[in-house]
């Protein structure tokens, strides 16, 4: 175990990377409160000033775009006229109402899910290829250590009282 090639490769790769020393040695970082304060100030400016201005700018741009596409194209009988969009939305809403009504009529007061029967100790013992007395011993112990093979089969178990 001393000659682990994977660990030595990782160790040599880490030394070849140019990482500043203050990342691994926190004692090099001085005046942490100034850094934290600058970080809080930056995030506050981002959240309370820059993001709302950016959002307002995008709303204004998209509002103009929607106005041009919908209201100014009414006279042109364009592909995206307001009448066409409203009629498409109404058709889709009606399709959803029909589908919801069908499901409500078909499945109202119908219980399709059955509660599974609890597994018996004999079934548990059979699924793990054990005896029922082994299952009783496992249930009565405080700690169980279970060992499986690569195929997922129970190889051995250890119990403590």
- The pLDDT tens digits for 126-160 are 988 888 998 888 888 889 898 888 888 888 888 88
Q: Which of 117, 134, 114 shows the shortest CA–CA distance to 126? A: 134
Say if residue 4's pLDDT is above 60.
no
Q: What is the mean pLDDT of residues 35-41?
A: 88
Residue bearing tokens 């000659």: 3
pLDDT in tens, 88-102: 999 999 999 999 999
Choose the most confident range, by mean pLDDT, from 21-30, 78-87, 119-128. Answer: 119-128
Say if residue 11's pLDDT is above 60.
no
For residue 67, what is the DSSP state?
I
Q: Sign of dihedral through CA atoms 100, 102, 105, 108? A: negative
Give the per-residue pLDDT at 21: 66
Tokens of 124: 């548990």
**Phi, then psi, of 135 in degrees rounded to 5:** -65, -40
How far is Cα 110 from Cα 105, in angstroms, rounded to an integer? 10
Give the Cα-Cα-Cα angle 93, 99, 103 (nearest 5 degrees).
145
Which pLDDT band, with edges at 50, 70 and 90, does 1 fall under? very low
How far is Cα 127 from Cα 120, in angstroms, rounded to an integer? 11
pLDDT in tens, 45-86: 889 999 999 999 999 999 988 887 777 765 555 566 677 788
Q: What is the mean pLDDT of residues 6-23?
A: 59
Q: What is the mean pLDDT of residues 111-123?
A: 87
H-assigned helices in 48-131: 51-66, 82-107, 121-127
């Amino acid at each position: 175990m001393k000659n682990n090639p994977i660990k030595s490769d990782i160790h040599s790769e880490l030394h070849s990377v140019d990482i500043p020393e203050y990342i691994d040695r926190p004692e090099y970082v001085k005046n942490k409160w100034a850094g934290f304060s600058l970080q809080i100030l930056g995030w506050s400016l981002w959240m309370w000033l820059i993001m709302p201005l950016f959002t307002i700018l995008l709303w204004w741009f998209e509002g103009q775009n929607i106005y041009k596409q919908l209201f100014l194209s009414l006279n042109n009988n364009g592909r995206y006229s307001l009448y066409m969009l409203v009629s498409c939305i109404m058709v889709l809403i009606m399709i959803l109402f029909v589908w919801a009504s069908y499901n409500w009529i078909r499945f109202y007061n119908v219980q399709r899910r059955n509660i599974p029967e609890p597994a018996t100790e004999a079934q548990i013992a059979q699924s793990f290829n054990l005896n029922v007395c082994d299952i009783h011993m496992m249930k009565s112990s405080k700690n169980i250590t279970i060992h499986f093979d690569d195929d997922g089969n129970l190889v051995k178990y250890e119990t403590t009282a």
